[in-house]
Amino acid sequence: MVEAPVVPSKRTCPFDPAEEYGRLREEEPISPIRFKIAPQDPNGWLVTRHDYVRQILADNRFSHRNELCAHLIEPPFPIEKYEPEPSAPGSFVRMDKPEHTKYRTLLAGHFTVRKIREYEPTLAKLIDEVLDELETKDRPLDLISEFAEVIPARSVCSMMGVPPDMVANMSTHFAAIFALQYTMEEFVYHMEEVQKLLVQLVEQRIEQPSDDIFSHLVATGELTVDEIANMAWIIIGGALDTTPNMMGLSTFALLEHPEQLEKFRANPEIVEGSVEELLRYLTVSQFGASRAALEDVEIGGITIKKGQTVVLSLPAANRDPDFFTDADELDVTRSARKHVAFGFGIHQCLGQHLARATLRIGLSKLFDRFPTLRLAVDPSEVPLRERAMHYGADKLLVTWDD
């Protein structure tokens, strides 16, 4: 029995998962781990093979309920006794059916392929405005804080109905939460501040409805203020942490693979598929997805006992050579269908189509506007988010020619 790391082992390449995942996938694709903090039996399993990961994510015998799953991520402050509670009403991500279905259904219609296609002209205009702002700034500049973080924040907040003057404040609190570097007092403070802002916005929409997701949720008449605020926490928080990391890391990866960038820029017809390949190759959900077995389940000759937690390594699954040819290579012409960067099954990322559109339009416009875009530091000097909830670059200093 090996002890699961709280954070991934040191990467040898900024774009690759820790090498240990590859060894486990080949030799022991369902391997035993021991959690430092767990609700019940601390013994669990780490799953690294693509087919096993998809199988478990689609299996109703595994639960995503917060009070049942052990957590691989250890808080940066000491915990004397770990007693996870059920998710708060509205916080549907770590719920099972039927509660999960109830809340997700109320949101799903706002994030369909058709809805996002209709939103794309607005998104493209927003991205152009951010690029216009970049042209006025001194160089080198940090592409993460000036571009990758700005676009998803303005985009999802506009869809939700967050006023522009509140976006920066909300983003600051969410960034602190997802960085996983805080004291307990700091964590409580940021969580409380976000909740206050979200409740305030719900109450505003009760008094002054508008054409935004907050208002539509209020109009259902089915939800309390806290339920709507908790649903909004998931949508906004998810967008502010995942898409910026993918945008920044994708830019870094393309700059470090100039032959792939050339193909990306020269062939607009492959951009949509290239985004899928970047999602597969980079997979920023570095800690994976956790599920708790509701009964004994046998997979691959291993019996996962009732109550045990399995951690599904999405980065390892997306580098499975039995599923993707030359899986450790970035190939923007590849068909990367069935990657699990967004998860799989009923918990697959609700905002995946918005994320895809943001990456597709954002990366295309960035490299079209600045064809000489390049790193302003040595690649080894780019700071990486190895301890954060989602992997990415903390800062990406770039420049370009006029």
Beta strand spans in 275-396 (E): 289-293, 297-299, 302-304, 309-312, 374-375
> What tokens appear for 383 in the block?
């700071």
Give the per-residue pLDDT at 6.
38
379-385-387 Cα angle (round to 5): 140
224-237 pLDDT, tens digit each:
999 999 999 999 99
90-133 pLDDT, tens digit each:
999 999 999 999 999 999 999 999 999 999 999 999 999 999 99
* Percent of the chain whose predicted confidence (pLDDT) is above 90: 84
Q: Do residues 132 and 150 make contact, with C-beta atoms less than 8 angstroms apart? A: no
The C-alpha R_g of the chain, in whole angstroms, comes to: 21
> What tokens appear for 180 in the block?
């996983």
Greater model confidence, 86 or 389? 86
Give the per-residue pLDDT at 395.
97
Give the per-residue pLDDT at 43.
78
Token pair 């969410």 in the structure block, residue: 174
Classify 208 in phi/psi space as left (phi over 0), alpha (psi -120 to 50) or beta.
Answer: beta
Q: Do residues 77 and 183 make contact, with C-beta atoms less than 8 angstroms apart? A: yes
159-196 pLDDT, tens digit each:
999 999 999 999 999 999 988 888 989 999 999 999 99
Task: Average the pLDDT over each of 70-79, 226-235, 329-338, 340-349 and give the range with the smallest value.
Answer: 70-79
Q: Please give the order of strands across the beta sheet that includes 62-63.
A: 2-3, 30-34, 43-47, 309-312, 289-293, 62-63
Q: Provide DSSP, 106-147.
A: HHHTTSSHHHHHHHHHHHHHHHHHHHHHHHTS-SSEEHIIII
Average pLDDT of the chain, as a whole number: 93
- Count other Cβ atoms within 10 Å, centred on residue 48: 29
> What tokens appear for 19 in the block?
């090498």
Looking at the DSSP bridge assignments, the partners of residue 45 are 32, 310
Give the per-residue pLDDT at 287.
83
What b/e string do you get for 324-344 counting C-beta neighbours within 10 Å, with b at 16 or more?
A: beebeebbbebebeebbbbbb
79-83-89 Cα angle (round to 5): 120
Q: What's the Cα-to-Cα distance from 2 to each of 45, 122, 339, 345, rounded to whole Å?
A: 10, 50, 28, 29
Give the per-residue pLDDT at 39.
56
DSSP H or E stretch at residue 44: strand 43-47
284-318 pLDDT, tens digit each:
998 889 999 999 999 999 999 999 999 999 999 99
Separation CA 384–CA 388 (nearest Å): 9
The closest alpha carbon to 206, from 197, 198, 215, 193, belongs to 215
pTM across the whole model:
0.95
Q: How many helices (H) and strands (E) does the chain have?
A: 14, 11
Strands 309-312 and 297-299: unpaired
Give the per-residue pLDDT at 389.
83
Q: Please give the order of strands across the beta sheet that includes 141-142.
A: 141-142, 397-399, 374-375
Greater model confidence, 32 or 353? 353
Greater model confidence, 175 or 389? 175
Superfamily of domain covering 2-399: Cytochrome P450 (1.10.630.10)
Q: What is the mean pLDDT of residues 139-154?
A: 97
Q: What's the Cα-to-Cα distance from 279 to each of 243, 275, 369, rounded to whole Å?
A: 10, 6, 23
Beta strand spans in 259-402 (E): 289-293, 297-299, 302-304, 309-312, 374-375, 397-399
Q: Do residues 20 and 7 make contact, with C-beta atoms less than 8 angstroms apart? A: no
Environment class of 18 (CB within 10 Å of its CB; exposed 0-12, middle 13-18, buried 19+):
buried
Q: Provide DSSP, 211-245.
A: SSHHHHHHHTS---HHHHHHHHHHHHHHHHHHHHH
